[in-house]
Chain A
């Protein structure tokens, strides 16, 4: 069964304390892996797309990496404004169509 699992469920960091969020997946026909940021009361906002193992993308304090079984979202020297829920999703080809499978997210809180 296609599945996406994110860990940890919640993470509290001090400002400047770097860490990583994990997204592990088991899907067939992977087309892409996506990271989104979701603020409370808002819709998810696109961050990165990764297509193949070994690929890396960076944006400010965030860096996303991809292996054949998981992806990491590394947060370097986070600031309070990085507090949000981070969602991982994979787009896979199944039963003749592309579908998205979302993880349940990691709630990140960065303390000043």
Chain B
């Protein structure tokens, strides 16, 4: 059982470049979300979705876009990368009626 799969695991970008982090889950979870993890800070919510076609902003949404066209996929787009977006990004999902999050293995992004 694959669970939550994130790609790529590592990425280096130059300031101003755009890219998409991919996230797919095979557990039929309605809820999907993106977090960033920075040293000395707790996981911070970027965007989330409670089902196909429904997305909303989290705590730190600026500079990121999301869409949810299927239950399985929830890509995160960086529109114009900035050094402040250097971080480890985690995708997480859960059934809508429980609180337990299932995380992917993370995508480490460096913006030069």
Q: Mark A residues whose CB is within 8 Å of B.
A: 4, 31-32, 34, 36, 41-46, 49, 87, 89, 91, 97-105
Contact = CB atoms under 8 A, between A and B. Distances in A.
Interface stretch (B12-20, B40-48, B61-69, B75-83): B40-48
Interface of B: 4, 40-45, 56, 58, 90, 92, 99-106
Main secondary structure of the interface of A (DSSP, over half): strand
B57 to A, nearest CB: 11
Given A42-B105, A44-B90, A45-B103, A99 B45 contact: yes
B104 A43 contact: yes
B99 A91 contact: yes
Given A32-B99, A44-B90, A102 B106 contact: no
**Could you say which of B4, B58, B101, B103 has the most chain A C-beta atoms within 10 Å of its C-beta?**
B101
Contact of A42 (B45, B58, B101, B106): B106
A43 B106 contact: yes
Given A101-B42, A103-B42, A104-B41, A49 B103 contact: no
B99 A34 contact: yes
B99 A49 contact: yes
